[in-house]
Structure 1
């Protein structure tokens, strides 16, 4: 698959995130603008193995920029973990005349794409689509901003009922390995405490903080907990511990779950997806491969996928400091 790119395949893989459709739209319309054929690959790597392809033109992506999820669907694919499965995928791409790929997904999707390129030399460019914002090489991933807005809106509503009944709410948000959602949404929603995997607050310090909140005159409190936080075994055990040691609090738990993935993407995510899609197509046309499109200092950048999947994002220490000050 060397030489001039004539047909680009685009697909989404892994967990869905708001902004994926906007990125698909951008890739398809960039191809149309540059007079290159574009093929939608349905159900990620599984669809690639099965040849589940559909030609896409500028009109086929009408009215999707505002939609959450992904019109190309996503699916788990154990077959792609095998050399035989990847050979089938390559054969299907060959038969369809696809000579370049844009993959929209997270580190697992990028890892598969990198292996595929090394084996078959298919040019690939990645677009980071994950609400966790845990991909190295970009300040923001697609869906992160929308997820934050969703979480803040929900916490605002929970606070209404918390203040009405003088309750303490533990709100669990997504973030198995990183606390970007919890930290940013917690500050934005005015949470009294924020528990994230990167900073082990400790049960005693949490109790001390909640005692201070009560003594300062707060009648209700919100504690935002990233699902990967290790302060307790889980958010329900955390609630029981606080109830046992601080019976003055009437505690409740709200696990936000998959609602954080859904919804219409924010303007920020729509614009970011549009910029990233254009850059991905341009990179393939320029003969580049194994790179991820990102944004840093408000400029669209390219980072080797190998670095993107091996690097680690860092929590914003300044935002942690702001959080501590705001909980006084």
Structure 2
């Protein structure tokens, strides 16, 4: 019996040593795997020690494919930038449920369709890509976007209800080839406050264009082909504070249309072929800032007709 107990004791001690050794090995393997999993991807910089942000530029095709595969391991990623990397599609971009900021600017992307889901992205930057047509429900995988930058693409067509983005507050559509604003374009952007459509090919604006976006405070329509405004072009926009109509084809200030904008504080009509200004152009308008120059050398601009107004801060 004594011999048996001694044997069992030795055996138990040996088993304990084996278990401890195995456990230590498991911990080492897990630690190594964790370290390997959190290595910064090739071609990227990772300013956060917890790898919550990746900034990637000029990736070649193999590195880009590897990155899209590796991203599946980073479910807690908050910020992702992949710029100047010749990306053409987002179809293989994996789900990133915690992502809040996504910058894919300066690539060759021609469609935003993706199988991934990005419910927490607040800012999406797609400027300087190859987008031409924005289809209905194009942004359904980014339902909570607040700032959307689509500047400097080749957009000429925007399907109705493309922007089904109820939380969107800032939309950049400048430097594209858009010729008209459909009455349903902003139907589901009730919280839109800033709209940039400068550098397009717009020839007219109607009140129905903004009927569903009555929270707009700033609109930039500069560098288009506008020559006149319908009487009620901005009728629903009671909160509009800044309007930029510079570099268009106006020959006169659209005074009656401006009088509907009770909250308008800043107006830019510089670089239009305006021929003459009169005091009545700004009657009933509570402007604090006016910027007006003309492309026509024979224009008669009389600053005294509006610069003497008591509320004017700059003209």
Which has the bigger relative contact order, CA under 8 A and spacing at least 6? 1
TM-score by length of 1: 0.26
Greater helix share, structure number:
1
Greater strand share, structure number:
1
TM-score by length of 2: 0.27
Whichever of the two has the greater Rg, that structure is 2
